[in-house]
Amino acid sequence: MTHERAGSSESHVDRAKRGPTPDNPSLSLKKRLKRAAFFDQRERLAAQGKAEPVDADAGLPDALDDSLMAHWSQGSGSDHRPNA
Protein backbone atom coordinates (compact mmCIF):
# COMPACT_ATOMS: atom_id res chain seq x y z
CA MET A 1 0.00 0.00 0.00
CA THR A 2 1.24 3.50 -0.67
CA HIS A 3 1.42 6.47 1.59
CA GLU A 4 -0.39 9.27 -0.24
CA ARG A 5 1.17 12.13 1.71
CA ALA A 6 4.71 11.03 0.97
CA GLY A 7 3.94 9.97 -2.61
CA SER A 8 6.00 6.82 -2.15
CA SER A 9 5.31 3.17 -2.71
CA GLU A 10 6.67 1.95 0.60
CA SER A 11 4.43 0.81 3.41
CA HIS A 12 4.04 2.39 6.82
CA VAL A 13 5.96 -0.57 8.24
CA ASP A 14 8.89 0.04 5.87
CA ARG A 15 9.13 3.65 7.04
CA ALA A 16 8.72 2.66 10.71
CA LYS A 17 11.76 0.40 10.44
CA ARG A 18 13.90 3.38 9.37
CA GLY A 19 13.11 5.47 12.43
CA PRO A 20 10.74 8.01 13.96
CA THR A 21 8.77 10.36 11.69
CA PRO A 22 6.25 13.14 12.43
CA ASP A 23 3.42 10.66 11.66
CA ASN A 24 4.96 7.92 13.82
CA PRO A 25 7.20 9.64 16.39
CA SER A 26 7.88 6.92 18.96
CA LEU A 27 11.52 6.09 19.63
CA SER A 28 10.42 2.51 20.33
CA LEU A 29 10.61 0.30 17.23
CA LYS A 30 7.97 -2.01 18.71
CA LYS A 31 5.50 0.87 19.13
CA ARG A 32 6.26 2.29 15.67
CA LEU A 33 5.70 -1.11 14.04
CA LYS A 34 2.39 -1.60 15.87
CA ARG A 35 1.13 1.81 14.73
CA ALA A 36 2.44 1.26 11.19
CA ALA A 37 0.77 -2.15 10.89
CA PHE A 38 -2.55 -0.57 11.92
CA PHE A 39 -2.28 2.10 9.20
CA ASP A 40 -1.23 -0.43 6.53
CA GLN A 41 -4.21 -2.63 7.42
CA ARG A 42 -6.58 0.35 7.50
CA GLU A 43 -5.40 1.48 4.04
CA ARG A 44 -6.04 -2.01 2.65
CA LEU A 45 -9.54 -2.10 4.18
CA ALA A 46 -10.32 1.42 2.96
CA ALA A 47 -9.25 0.46 -0.57
CA GLN A 48 -11.70 -2.45 -0.39
CA GLY A 49 -14.46 -0.16 0.89
CA LYS A 50 -14.62 -1.98 4.23
CA ALA A 51 -13.36 0.88 6.44
CA GLU A 52 -13.04 4.65 6.54
CA PRO A 53 -9.57 6.09 5.92
CA VAL A 54 -7.75 7.40 9.00
CA ASP A 55 -5.58 10.52 9.10
CA ALA A 56 -1.88 9.71 9.53
CA ASP A 57 -1.70 11.91 12.62
CA ALA A 58 -4.65 10.19 14.34
CA GLY A 59 -3.93 9.44 17.97
CA LEU A 60 -1.02 11.86 18.21
CA PRO A 61 -0.93 14.82 20.59
CA ASP A 62 -2.08 18.10 19.01
CA ALA A 63 1.30 19.70 19.54
CA LEU A 64 4.52 17.77 19.24
CA ASP A 65 7.65 19.12 20.88
CA ASP A 66 9.23 21.74 18.57
CA SER A 67 12.69 20.25 19.00
CA LEU A 68 11.43 16.89 17.67
CA MET A 69 9.80 18.57 14.68
CA ALA A 70 13.06 20.42 13.93
CA HIS A 71 14.95 17.14 14.27
CA TRP A 72 12.72 15.42 11.67
CA SER A 73 12.71 18.36 9.27
CA GLN A 74 16.50 18.03 9.02
CA GLY A 75 16.05 14.57 7.51
CA SER A 76 17.26 12.59 10.48
CA GLY A 77 16.86 8.84 10.42
CA SER A 78 17.08 6.01 12.91
CA ASP A 79 20.84 6.51 13.27
CA HIS A 80 20.27 9.88 14.99
CA ARG A 81 18.82 9.21 18.43
CA PRO A 82 18.58 11.75 21.25
CA ASN A 83 20.81 11.02 24.21
CA ALA A 84 18.93 9.51 27.13
Confidence of residue 84 (pLDDT cuts 50, 70, 90): very low
Mean pLDDT of 13-19: 95
Tell the burial category of 13 from Cβ atoms under 10 Å away from its Cβ (0-12, 13-18, 19+).
middle
The total number of residues shown for the chain amounts to: 84
Look at the alpha carbons of 68, 81, 39, 6 in this order and tell me if their dihedral is positive or negative.
Answer: positive
Span 21-67, pLDDT tens digits: 888 999 999 999 999 999 999 999 999 999 999 888 888 877 555 55
Cβ neighbours for 53, distance < 8 A, ≥ 6 positions apart: 42, 43, 46
Mean pLDDT of 18-23: 91
- Cα Rg of the chain, angstroms: 13
Instruction: Please give the pLDDT value at position 75.
Output: 58
